Amino acid sequence: MYILQAIASISHQEVFQKELFWSNLHALEAETNIQHPDYKAFIPANALRRLSPILRMGIACAKSCQEAISEPFDSISVGTGLGCLIDTEKFLVTINTTSGDILSPTAFIQSTHNTISGQISLDLKNHAYNMTHTQNTLSFEVALLDGMLCVDEGKKHVLVGAADETVPFLKRLQPDIVSDEYPLTSGATFMVIGSENKSDAVGIVACELSFKQRDLTTWVDAFLAKHQMTAAQIGLVLHYDALELNDFQNKLSYAPLVGYNMSAPAFAAHLAVDWLKDSANQGAVLLINNMDSNKQALTLFQKA
């Protein structure tokens, strides 16, 4: 099992550096604001001025995790579906509206997907393994698998996370490229995993991906059996889109709580962890990422 050492999220819910927050969650309205913390507490002012929201969120979550474990990360794995959209849009608009002879370097430098993990590394002066994964709605789980492999290699404090930010232009891509079922949102969730167990810990048992459509009932049965579990031992199933899994009593769609961004499953992972930390809840949590029917993931969480 991969033991969770710290976790932090910034989202449209008030969850940053909070525990047992389920009772404060609410379904998001159509127009909703992200709950930004005071970034000056995490990022020097001279660096903060250049950073777009996705970078601020990523660094603040990573540093919150760093403070919680008081040890340097042995690796950093970040997932992002669409990357640094605000800087990308700014750079492209500048190209389109000027002669393009000389362009602002900041937006260009920070428009690449790996800016999030890079800025975390720079800010923390951390020169460990640093990797960015972009696989649309599976970006978080791919980064998580990378982090789990790092733990298998013996790394003790493995940072894994995902972040995405929205821009108004995404509305023009609805519904063909971007779903219009839920509000477009931004968010970041980062966690530290390792192998060292401790009392009251929560862990990740396993994560499996599929880059093709699969029958979820068959897949879930096989996944649970592989890890010596039955449907009766699952206390909560978190899923994005509607699904029919009749063997499970307690199912909840996390989509109304997080909205649409490609890192939404990372926030759902935080929901799973927080649910397990509540001593009143019994059983494991199965997180089903079915945001895209052609790219699915199963992640199993339980108390360690």
Partner 1 sequence: MSDFKETLKAQIIEQLNLEDLQPSDIQDDAPLFGEDGLGLDSIDALEFIVLLDSNYNIKIADPNQGRDIFYSVNTLADYISKNKQ
CB 138, CB 209: distance < 8 Å: yes
Q: Work out which of 31, 38, 101, 244 binds partner 1, going by CB under 8 A.
A: 101
The least distance separating partner 1 from the CB of residue 92, rounded to whole angstroms, comes to 16
d(C-alpha 126, C-alpha 236), whole Å: 37
Shortest approach of partner 1 to residue 118 CB, angstroms? 14
Our finding on whether 102 is near partner 1 (CB under 8 A) is yes
Q: Which residue has the tokens 């990357």?
A: 83
Interface residue with partner 1 among 20, 93, 95, 103 (CB under 8 A) is 103
- Residue 98 as a binder of partner 1 (CB under 8 A): the answer is yes
**Residues 6+ positions from 243 with CB-CB distance below 8 Å:** 216, 251, 288, 290
Contact track, partner 1, 109-148, x by CB under 8 A: x---------------------------------------
∠ CA(165), CA(63), CA(281), 5° rounding? 80
Beta bridge partners of 9: 189
Q: Determine the Cα angle at 130 with ends 125 and 134, to 5°.
A: 135
Q: Which of 31, 38, 49, 246 binds partner 1 (CB under 8 A)?
A: 49
Cβ proximity of 207 and 148 under 8 Å: yes
Task: Return the closest-CA partner of residue 39 out of 27, 28, 49, 24.
Answer: 49
Q: Is 34 in the site for partner 1 (CB under 8 A)?
A: no
Count, residues near partner 1 per rule CB under 8 A? 12
Under rule CB under 8 A, residue 104 binds partner 1: yes
Is the dihedral angle over the CA atoms 222, 223, 229, 235 positive or is it negative?
negative
Question: Do you know the residue count of the chain?
Answer: 304
Residues in region 50-89 near partner 1 by CB under 8 A: 50
Q: Find the part of the chain contacting partner 1 (CB under 8 A) among 64-72, 95-103, 185-193, 296-304.
A: 95-103
Is 100 a binder of partner 1 (CB under 8 A)?
A: no
Closer to partner 1 at the Cβ: 2 or 39?
39
For partner 1, the binding residues (CB under 8 A) are: 45-46, 49-50, 98, 101-106, 109
